Amino acid sequence: MKPKIAKRGPYSVDLEAGKRYHWCACGRSASQPFCDGSHQGTEFFPLAFTAEESKKAYLCGCKHSQNPPFCDGTHAKLPE
């Protein structure tokens, strides 16, 4: 099963150092790019990560990044 493409581009977010986040890996969350539990009943699970520093980050919206949760430009190569 492939994840749902939530957005064909990154989500710009402000991360806080030391704060734990749960990035949506399934693409179903209404709280993109973060998990809201919509993966329940699927084979997907959110990716938990802790921000190392406070900064603006670009989190993957297409859910196909090779460097999750961060955008690596894969959205530009996905078929329409």
Q: Is the Cα torsion angle 1, 21, 72, 14 positive or negative in sign?
A: positive
* Omega before residue 33 within 30° of 0, cis: yes
Q: How confident is the model at residue 19 (pLDDT cuts 50, 70, 90)?
A: very high
Neighbours of 43 (CB within 10 A): 9
Q: Which amino acid is at 57?
A: A
Q: What is the pTM assigned to this prediction?
A: 0.94
Is the per-residue pLDDT at 56 higher than 90? yes
Specify the pLDDT at position 17: 98
- Among candidate residues 21, 27, 9, 36, the one with its CA nearest the CA of residue 63: 27
